[in-house]
Amino acid sequence: MQLILESLFNGVAIGSVLLVAALGLAIVFGLMGVINLAHGELMMLGAYSTYITQLIFKQVSFLKPFYDSYVIVAIGVAFLVSGTVGILLERTVIRRLYGSPLETLLATWGVSLILQQFVRSVPLAYGSGMVIALFFGLFSPLFISDDILHGAKGKLIRASTWGFSALLGVATGGVLSSLVSKLSRASARNVDVTAPSWMRGGVDFVGVTFPKTRLLIILITLISVLVVIFFLDKTAWGLRIRAVTQNRPMSDCLGISTETVDIITFGIGSGLAGVAGVAVSLLGSVGPNVGGNYIVGCFMVVVLGGVGNLLGTILASFSIGIMTDLIGAGRLLTIWPEMPSPLFSTIDFFATTSMARVMIFALIVIFLQFRPTGMFPQKGRMVES
């Protein structure tokens, strides 16, 4: 009983990291049919944001008393950082490639290479300065009324907001690098995020210890999923996003600005990648390649769950998580020791993390033989679905 509970918990923990990472990917994929290979690198940016937030809280004197709550702040920071970079990516690259998903895939791979090398060879302080410049540059026009922006001096005003943002970015970079010495030099080494004291240790429940970090990750996932469901189901923009997901040309005809919908969706999807990055940073050390470890798992979730269906995404990530734990950690062998010996030796052969992946992939391919479009396929009458 305890074993089953422990196994279930571990599976859910693995699954919830997958879920929060795959959630953004699934939304974007459902809406635009775009596979974003840079999703893992957006997660990596989120993880680095956590690291930077932690350092700032440690070094800046008036923030020190609140050090324990840096994780909460980091979630917001990571969401904004990854969201900003995601929107930039959408504006500059992806919007040119709508209707050709394979090309988008290649272009986003290029972006992911650039982001990886960026983190390696640009000091983090100036990197965050650039993100801040981007953030204000992209969003400040939203707070200026349209009359001014489209008036006689509209172009000048736009240019000056960018100039102001750039100055702000440079200033932030300078201040950060002088405040926090660790951020002032470029480094390709992995960094570690230390959990605040209240997150160490575990909670005991019917004789099983649940690590608090994993509980927090499950909580983050739960909240993210609830927020996303609320956003998609109850708000006006959520309604529009769902409409565009179902039928893009028709929504366009009915007056929905599909371009804005794309920006919002991509921003939210990328922001969720950032939140996933916070979770990832709590689990292990953070490096430029950290996203790559999770990205294929996310793809599997999307394929298994079916397009544009949150329930499918949730079920798929938890089943992959639980299977990984059952097979990979060899827990199935301890739970059910008297299983027939050929089966036992087979499962024993697959009882490492990497071999578990082999087995799970095989299972997914077998599953797709019966349900080629995932657990919850989108209904439609198109020839090309």
Partner 1 sequence: MSIFSTKKSWINLTIWVLIIALIIAAPSVLPVFRLNLLGRYLSLAIVALGVDLIWGFTGMLSLGQGIFFALGGYCAAMFLQLNSAGEFPNGIPEFFGLYGVEKLPFFWEPFKSSIFTLISIWLLPAIVACILGYLVFRNRIKGVYFSILTQAALLVFFNFFNGQQKLINGTNGLKTDVTQLFGQMVGSEIMQRWFFWVSAVLVILAWFFARWIVRDRFGNILIGIRDDEARVRFTGYNPVIFKTIIFSIAGGLAGISGALYTVQSGIVSPQFMTVPFSIEMVIWVAVGGRGTLLGAILGAVFINYAKSLVSEALPASWMFIQGGLFILVVTALPEGVLGWIRKDGLRKLLFLIGLNKKLETFPSLEVNEQGEVKS
Q: What's the closest the beta carbon of residue 34 comes to partner 1, in angstroms?
A: 8
| Separation CA 247–CA 242 (nearest Å) | 9
Given the rule CB under 8 A, which of 98-106, 157-165, 209-217, 261-269 is the region that contacts partner 1? 98-106
x/- string (CB under 8 A) for partner 1, residues 14-33?
---------------x---x
Residue type, 297: G
φ, ψ of residue 263 to 5 degrees: the values are -60, -50
* Widest CA span in the chain: 81
| Count of other CB atoms within 10 angstroms of residue 317 | 30
Taking the least distance from each CB to partner 1, the nearer of 75 and 364 is 364
> In the bound complex, what is the minimum distance in angstroms from residue 293's beta carbon to partner 1?
10
Concatenating the DSSP letter of every residue in 24-78 gives HHHHHHHHH----TTHHHHHHHHHHHHHHHHHHHHHSGGGGGGGGGHHHHHHHHH
CA distance 184 to 174: 9
The CB-of-11 to partner 1 minimum distance in angstroms stands at: 19
Q: Which of 249, 354, 379, 381 binds partner 1 (CB under 8 A)?
A: 354
Both structure tokens of 45: 């940016």
Q: Which is nearer to partner 1, 60 or 368 (CB)?
A: 368
Site for partner 1 in 302-331 (CB under 8 A): 302-303
Helical H segments across the chain, by residue range: 2-32, 39-59, 70-92, 101-121, 124-139, 146-149, 154-179, 212-234, 236-246, 248-253, 258-283, 292-305, 310-323, 331-335, 341-349, 353-370
Long-range contacts from 95-101, C-beta under 8 angstroms, 24+ separation: 95/259, 95/262, 97/34, 98/32, 98/34, 101/33, 101/34, 101/35
Note every long-range contact of 92-100, with CB atoms under 8 Å and residues 24 or more positions apart, other chains counting.
Answer: 94/32, 94/34, 94/36, 94/266, 95/259, 95/262, 97/34, 98/32, 98/34
Shortest Cβ 175–partner 1 spacing (Å): 26
Among residues 13, 21, 44, 107, which is the contact residue for partner 1, using CB under 8 A? Answer: 107
Q: Per CB under 8 A, which of residues 33..62 are in contact with partner 1?
A: 33, 35
- CB of residue 56 vs partner 1: minimum separation in angstroms? 27
Q: How far is the CB of 129 from partner 1 (least distance, A)?
A: 19
Residue 354 CB, nearest approach to partner 1 (Å): 4
Figure out which of the listed residues 5, 73, 93, 208 binds partner 1, where binding follows CB under 8 A: 93
Torsion 247-275-10-333 (CA) sign: positive
Amino acid identity of residue 240, one-letter, is R
Nearer to partner 1, 75 or 359 (CB): 359
Stretch of 45-53, 93-101, 200-208, 215-223 lying at the interface with partner 1 (CB under 8 A): 93-101
Amino acid at 172: T
Name which of residues 110 to 129 contact partner 1 (CB under 8 A). 110-114, 116-117, 120-121
Give the HSE-up count for residue 259: Cα atoms under 13 Å, Cβ half-sphere. Answer: 3
Give the residue, chosen from 96, 150, 155, 200, that forms a contact with partner 1 under the rule CB under 8 A: 96
Number of residues that bind partner 1 (CB under 8 A): 43
Cβ at position 92, least distance to partner 1 in Å:
9
Which of 72, 106, 226, 250 binds partner 1 (CB under 8 A)? It is 106
CA torsion, ordered 53, 267, 138, 294, to nearest 10 deg: 50
Judge whether 216 and 16 are in contact, CB under 8 Å: no
- Indicate the residue among 109 and 164 with the shorter CB distance to partner 1: 109
Return the number of the residue (111 or 315) whose C-beta is nearest partner 1.
111
Antiparallel, parallel or unpaired: β 208-211 and 202-205:
antiparallel
Q: Does 383 bind partner 1 (CB under 8 A)?
A: yes
- Rule CB under 8 A: choose which of 105, 130, 166, 363 binds partner 1: 105
Q: Which of 8, 59, 109, 174 binds partner 1 (CB under 8 A)?
A: 109
Provide the binding-site residues for partner 1, judged by CB under 8 A: 29, 33, 35, 93, 96-97, 101-107, 109-114, 116-117, 120-121, 292, 296, 299-300, 302-303, 352, 354-355, 357-358, 361-362, 364-365, 368-369, 372, 383-384
